Amino acid sequence: MYDILVIKEGYTKPMKRGLLEAGGSITLLKGPKNIIVDTGSPWDKDLLLSGLQDHDLCPDKIDYVICTHGHSDHVGNLNLFPSSCLVVSYDICHRDRYTVHDFAQGIPFEIDDFVEIWPTPGHTGADVSVVVRGTQLGTVAVTGDLFEHLDDLEDPEIWQSTSERPELQQQSRIDILRVADYIVPGHGPMFKVPLEFRKQMRMVMMHDEYYEEASGEGITSTVSQSQCIIVETE
Ligand SMILES: [Zn+2]
């Protein structure tokens, strides 16, 4: 059985003049294997090392380091783990040896009976999430920025504004919501999946409507308007 230990809680804070302060979650999965999901930013080195120490671990004892995607607040400390198996987006390597695995075809990578790495693209073209079954909390998904934080369930602008491929990300979010009891998102505390979002009962998505608008003199132009749509199913 695995323990889910959040070493650093991700956060995001809008600042003045278009600046954004953000830091990604760092999560330790402690069980039959020791697994780190996302390594934070380069200046999180000491925090990461002391977080491991708090759980009687050091980098040499980490079997897998999984980075959900290649943004700097998720891959900042990879070089602390030269002897671990590294999974970064869809690449799997142990030192300079690469394992060929077809994440692009939707095939999960199994670490053991409890832990799988799922392809969950959309935020970037090749994100992965880690699905851990049989924990004290049930099934926990550590998703990187597939979910920014709890509030993005009701406010899709939060995740869609940083999404490379929103339609693909929406499908990946549905895949995770179908199985997860709890989610560790990229930029907020771990949360319990609210009942109405489980089993794809409720989905909130921004949707662009395009329509023709007369702009005088018989000339028409195409205008788009974003609308928030809510889909609820049984
Ligand atoms: Zn990101």
Task: Report pLDDT digits (tens) over 24-65.
Answer: 999 999 999 999 999 999 999 999 999 999 999 999 999 999
Whether 213 has a pLDDT exceeding 80, the answer reads no
The predicted pLDDT at position 205 comes to 76
**CA-to-CA distance for 196 and 51, rounded, in angstroms?**
34
Q: Is residue 234 part of a domain?
A: no
Inside any domain, residue 213:
no
Residue 148, both tokens? 């920014």
pLDDT at site 229: 75
In contact, 118 and 69? CB cutoff 8 Å: no
Q: How far are the Cα atoms of 50, 82, 193 from residue 164, in angstroms, in the given order?
A: 34, 30, 24
Tell me, in angstroms, the distance from the centre of ligand 1 to residue 95's CA.
24
At residue 199, the pLDDT reads 65
pLDDT for res 234: 54
Domain contains 184: yes
The residue range of the domain holding 65 is 3-200
CATH number of the domain enclosing 42: 3.60.15.10
Ligand 1 mean position, distance from CA 222 (Å)? 32
Of 20-24, 85-89, 168-172, 225-229, where does mean pLDDT reach its minimum?
225-229
222 domain residue, yes or no: no
Q: Over the stretch 111-165, which tens digit does the pLDDT of each residue have?
A: 999 999 999 999 999 999 999 999 999 999 999 999 999 999 999 999 999 999 9
| Distance in Å, CA 163 to ligand 1 centroid | 9
Query: Ligand 1 centre and the CA of 41: distance in Å?
Result: 12
Mean pLDDT of 204-230: 72
User: Which of 1-15, 91-105, 201-215 bottoms out in mean pLDDT, i.e. has the lowest?
Assistant: 201-215
Structural domains of the chain, count: 1
Give the β-pairing of 182-185 and 138-144. Answer: parallel
Distance from residue 103's CA to the centre of ligand 1 (Å): 19
pLDDT tens digits along 96-125: 999 999 999 999 999 999 999 999 999 999
What average pLDDT does the structure give for the chain?
92
d(CA 103, CA 96): 19
**Is residue 90 situated within a structural domain?**
yes
Lowest mean pLDDT among 64-68, 193-197, 202-206: 202-206
Residues with Cβ–ion distance below 5 A, ligand 1: 71, 145
Q: How many residues does the chain have?
A: 234
What is the average per-residue pLDDT within 208-229?
Answer: 71
Where is 174: in which H helix or E strand?
helix 166-179
The answer to whether residue 170 sits within a structural domain is yes
137 in any annotated domain: yes
